[in-house]
Structure 1
Amino acid sequence: MEVYDILEKVKSGELSIEDAQLYLRREPFEEMGYAKLDTHRKIRSGFAEVIYCSGKTQQHLLQIFSRIYEQEGEVLGTRASIEQYELLLNEFPNVEYDSVSRIIKIERKDKKHIGKIAVCTAGTADIPVAEEASQTAEFFGAKVERIYDVGVSGIHRLFSRLDVIQSANCVVAVAGMEGALASVLGGVVDKPVIAVPTSVGYGANLNGLSALLTMINSCANGIAVVNIDNGYGAGYIATQINKLGAGNEE
């Protein structure tokens, strides 16, 4: 529950001043022994804590997932395996899993989506990272336009969708190999471009390092770069930018 909701409930008489005071005095995290859930993150940043599923034991994942869902009414996890999905499905029949992005979630169905984020990939092999970005942004309330397989080896494909890309509040450019897509997009849009290097490519791609270095060294303006394969990070930042751009749509 956010501070605004608490104040509204006090105003309407649903919540006493004393109960509201107790709620606000709670520790800003929940101690679970093996984890400290950041229960005030949504109050501070606007978005609740997200679970990085990879590497977590079954018991830890199940308990963390349960607590966030209990508190927020929805929950998002990244880098989840099919085995983790099957574990959570036993407890939460409404849990959803996407094997491409490895996103696992329970999401409110009445959510309003605002603004527009254009998520572009250089190739089809970049789609898993792009889907992590797209689905993260959608979970946090953004409209997403997917524009896939528009890399520089056939740049006419990109230009055919340029009107859609230019109308977005933010652009996410997901590319492996040499990572040139971000520079091209940076030169044709007047909105921020978030570049996501992927580990897609042959030997000298160095698991995404060559794309990362290209993006960092881009001469185009307005480009910011996240870590290799970090679709979640790009989707999160894009959502924040989109909220500013959407303005009074909320």
Structure 2
Amino acid sequence: MVYKAIDYRVEADVAVVTLNRPDVMNALDTQMRAEVLDAVRHAPDEARALVLTGAGRAFCSGQDLGDRADVANIDIERTLRDEYEPMLMAIFECPIPTVAAVNGPAAGAGANLALAADVVIASEAAMFLQAFTRIGLIPDAGGTYWLPRQVGFARAMGAALFAEPVPARQAAEWGMIWEAVPEDGFEAHWRARAAQLAKGPTIAYARLKQAIRHSYANDLEAQLSLEASLQGDCGATRDFREGVVAFLEKRSPRFEGR
């Protein structure tokens, strides 16, 4: 696929997907959703970590309401099922670590696109806004899934009902995101974080993601059984052996993702 709405680059085992419609604050249209889906699906074939970020001053302003001639007659359910769901599930199920580097405002579906990543690192210039009730809608693109799990019922309900912006630092305090960092040096910071993940034990990362996500549905006995099975997979890898040898030799491990 030729990318027109995003920029896609792989550097030092890190795939960077940049939402690239800065003139509309990287609003999500049909083209962009298809391109993000394609890039996320291909990234594990050529990278060991994936970053989603935005061009210009915003991360993503959400659904592009100008994407259709007659906004009032958009088939929202079809759009969510056919375009948003595959994109979000590709991010959620991506076998390599995913990082949302939120460089600026993330609103509506844009906020929830960020929250689909494994780790969200935000510039202190960023904010997260569940803007949906402002136009008579409910949070979608996974918003009703992510928010209560990350911030609890009361904060999720308040953020959704009042549709008020949550600044990045407050989002970090709430547990909505991993960290908020100063705008100055933000890109260098997320690149360093992504590089750290790309050098890590990627098989263990994939199993870790699987274990944590299944924990919401499992009771303790089922989760302990799943942990044992997944840990068995990790214990059979070359990375585990390298990790033990490096520990005994008091050096940094050189993981290969095998």
User: Structure 1-normalised TM-score?
Assistant: 0.32
User: Structure 2-normalised TM-score?
Assistant: 0.31
